[in-house]
Structure 1
Amino acid sequence: MAISFDKAFGIHQYTLGVRAERAEVISANIANADTPGYKARDLDFSSALEQAKSQLQSGVSLARSDSRHLQADSAFSGALKYRNPDQPDTGDGNSVDVQQERMAFMENGLEYQTSMEFLNSRISGLLKAIKGDQA
């Protein structure tokens, strides 16, 4: 009997990649907090998750017509949006709120860790089922 990873791992197998990509986007926001004209960005989690599920299930990747072409930076480019600022413009056109970015980064990290722990417990359960209970 074959093991279906979709049934065994659920949505958590897709969330790890999306959470990792979101961490990079938030990190870029924090790194550019003092860059004039920089606009804060964030990943729309639900649309990025749908993209991840469809790409992994269908094996779709971007086509390159020449071997010298570079791969795209983000597999979730359609889900990357500019964030609406909560603070007034400081005059330099930068829309990054460092405290909001830090909070979003910490929340994203906790959600990543939660998915990782869930997957770890599922894998442990599958290993016990494969090896048999040796208690």
Structure 2
Amino acid sequence: MKLFSSNFQTLEKALGYSSLKHKTIAQNIANVDVPNYKAKDVSFKQVLTESTKPIMANRTDSRHFQFSISTGQLNVYTKKNTEYNHNGNNVDIDSEMSDMAANQIYYQALIERLNGKFSTLQNVIKGGR
């Protein structure tokens, strides 16, 4: 028997993504003046893949492909093909600040949704009082 629905797990993964994204953006901002520093970002595709339910396929022959979705860690990758400063640094401070603001809004929305879920559970436990 599951005590919580899968919504809590999805919200947990989304909060983990948002937290890692915030740390990555903060690292980029902190290194904006470091020569040859390359900006980093979090792979959203990996997060989306992990949050979807696995695909189950009926294999009638051993030569058929198996469908599987890996459940690994979030990937942080380095943006290598751009250069904004003469010193080899590719951190665009305006873009990073914009990304941080958007991520903060996303994080707050997730927290509000999680608080709503817990409020509903508390209401059920108290018997609607």
Question: TM-score range with shorter-chain normalisation?
Answer: 0.7 to 0.9
Structure with greater proportional helix content = 1
Show the counterpart of 1:41.
40
TM-score (norm 2): 0.73
C-alpha RMSD of matched pairs (Å): 2.7
Show the counterpart of 1:3.
3
Q: Which has the larger radius of gyration?
A: 2
**Structure 1: runs of 5 or more not aligned:** 55-59, 62-74
Show the counterpart of 1:29.
28
Distance 1:5 1:25, change over 3 A: same
Q: Which has the higher contact order (CA 8 A, sep 6+)?
A: 1
CA-to-aligned-CA distance 1:90-131 (integer Å, 9 cap, x gap): 321100000000000110111011001001001100110111
**Structure 2: runs of 5 or more not aligned:** 54-70
Contact map agreement 1:40 1:96 (CA 8 A) in 2: yes
Q: How do residues 95-114 of structure 1 correspond to structure 2 at under 5 angstroms?
A: 95-114=90-109
Q: Residue 3 of structure 1 aligns to which amino acid in structure 2? A: L
Q: How many residues align?
A: 112
Deviation above 4 Å: which 4+ runs of structure 1? 49-54
Identity %: 29
TM-score (norm 1): 0.70
